[in-house]
Amino acid sequence: MNVNGLTRRDFLRGASAAAPLLLSPRAWGGNAPGSRVNLAIIGAGGRGNGLLNNTVHLPEARVVAVCDCFVARRETMRDQLDTFYGGKGVTAYADFREVLARDDIDGVIVATPDHWHVPIALAAARAGKAMYIEKPLGVSLAWAWQLREAVQARKNVFQYGTQQRSEAQFRQACELVRNGYLGAIERVEAWCPDMSSQYAAFSVPRYGSTEPAPVPDGFDYAQWLGPAPEKPYTVDRCTCYGAYHTYDYALGFIAGWGAHPLDIVQWGLGTDATSPVRYEGTGTIPTQGLYDTIDSWDVECAYASGVKLRFMGHRVAEAVVGAYRPWKDHGTTFFGSEGWVSVDRSGILASDPKLLAIALKETDTHLKAPQSHMHDFVTCVRSGDAPIAGLEAAIRSDTICHLSDMAIRLGRAVRWDPGTEQVRGDADATAMLTRPVRAPWDLSKPMLR
């Protein structure tokens, strides 16, 4: 029996070392040592299933609830978990507020489309839950700042879904940078797949049908839309591609994929509490069909320190990056006075292999090295410690995506004050920091049922 390929035996082997579940950490009024955390998955699509795989084998955690707008998705995940755990202990919900109302749930794993990340996170924060929130933070920086206030007030454990931070080669690259082994950092390149990487999966017309269509049985379209503008249902809208590339629900891959290499830029530079001060660039946006986020882009950002960041979609990056290293469609390269180091999911490269043989001194900065990103989250839910990818880092890297998007859409440089988090002298860009929230949703209210 398995959940997405993990056998029950694998799970039990892992679980044998775990303390039995006597009381949930919440029932202790804290995170009792040795207690197991109860989690819910909100958003049972592709990524939700991936995160389920990362969670079920952890003996310290148990997934007790799932939630999705598609009846079939939530019930399938529930049934898989019931079979896996060998009982009927998992509940499927249509509405995330019912999940948050449960006192025995310690934390939520949110893998909905982007426009729901912050609203659900806000409600989870107010309900006192820990949260693993998928990247990117979403469609409005002003919403994200509301989340910051809520999380700071309640000290909720927050893990951002930028899992590259928990992988060894990314840590190695960032430790080399942080400890000065590349000399003074002058510039950074970050790149990732753009919209065209998904063209082959798009329906005809390529950028999504705009023809109104009947809402499928077993799908709660109103709940899927939530705070987003009311629009007629169309067949491509509520697929993962529709959600990734339609501006009502996302900024596109400039944020959805860009979040990953930018997170490494910020981690390496040690700039998790700030963002670049200037953004200027170009990009293309489809003019037909449903998908209206940035397709391809090339943005130059400048930090207050003078360090330059070039942020590119993969079609722009291929010639730039391919000129000095074997091509990969995503990655981050730090250029210092003593050489460069470049990192992606397949490995790490450097201008001089000797850089990669450097062993850190005890006195050097050593970055956190979790067993896995989800294990880090679960461990922190139990201990109350801060996970590796906190909310401030999430907001500041998401800021780079939003301001890059604005600079492209407005066709001019955007200047940013990272201290006050305000755009300098541009009313149009300032207006793009927030979005209306469709009633009855209201982010200023608890949103609980």
Ligand X SMILES: NC(=O)c1ccc[n+]([C@@H]2O[C@H](COP(=O)([O-])OP(=O)(O)OC[C@H]3O[C@@H](n4cnc5c(N)ncnc54)[C@H](O)[C@@H]3O)[C@@H](O)[C@H]2O)c1
Helices (H), 270-416: 314-322, 353-356, 373-383, 391-410
Number of residues this chain uses to bind ligand X (CB under 6 A): 28
430: left (phi over 0), alpha (psi -120 to 50) or beta: alpha
Whole-number Cα distances in Å, 21 to 24, 66, 76, 99, 391: 7, 20, 25, 20, 29
Q: Which is nearer to ligand X, 15 or 111 (CB)?
A: 111
DSSP-derived 3-state class of residue 103: coil
Identity of residue 118: V
DSSP-derived 3-state class of residue 192: strand
Q: Give CA torsion, residues 367, 371, 376, 382, to 10 deg.
A: -120
> Which residue from 35, 38, 39, 43 is in contact with ligand X, where contact means CB under 6 A?
43
> Which residue from 61, 90, 107, 161 is in contact with ligand X, where contact means CB under 6 A?
161
State yes or no: residue 224 binds ligand X (CB under 6 A): yes
Least separation in angstroms between residue 308's CB and ligand X is 27
Can you tell me the distance from the alpha carbon of 166 to that of 370, in angstroms, rounded to the nearest whole number?
6
Site track for ligand X across 302-341, x = CB under 6 A: ----------------------------------------
Least separation in angstroms between residue 395's CB and ligand X is 16
Can you tell me the distance from the alpha carbon of 427 to that of 8, in angstroms, rounded to the nearest whole number?
56
> Which residue from 31, 38, 112, 296 is in contact with ligand X, where contact means CB under 6 A?
112
For residue 286, which of 275, 298, 294 has the smallest C-alpha distance? 294
Q: Which is nearer to ligand X, 187 or 441 (CB)?
A: 441
State yes or no: residue 377 binds ligand X (CB under 6 A): no
Options 45-53, 167-175, 291-299, 314-322: segment touching ligand X (CB under 6 A): 45-53
State yes or no: residue 126 binds ligand X (CB under 6 A): no
State yes or no: residue 139 binds ligand X (CB under 6 A): no
Least separation in angstroms between residue 220's CB and ligand X is 8
For residue 38, which of 132, 124, 108, 133 has the smallest C-alpha distance? 108
> Which residue from 11, 85, 96, 340 is in contact with ligand X, where contact means CB under 6 A?
96
Q: Which is nearer to ligand X, 300 or 376 (CB)?
A: 376
State yes or no: residue 134 binds ligand X (CB under 6 A): yes
Residues that bind ligand X (CB under 6 A): 42-48, 67-70, 73, 96, 111-114, 116, 134-135, 161, 163, 223-224, 226, 240, 243, 256
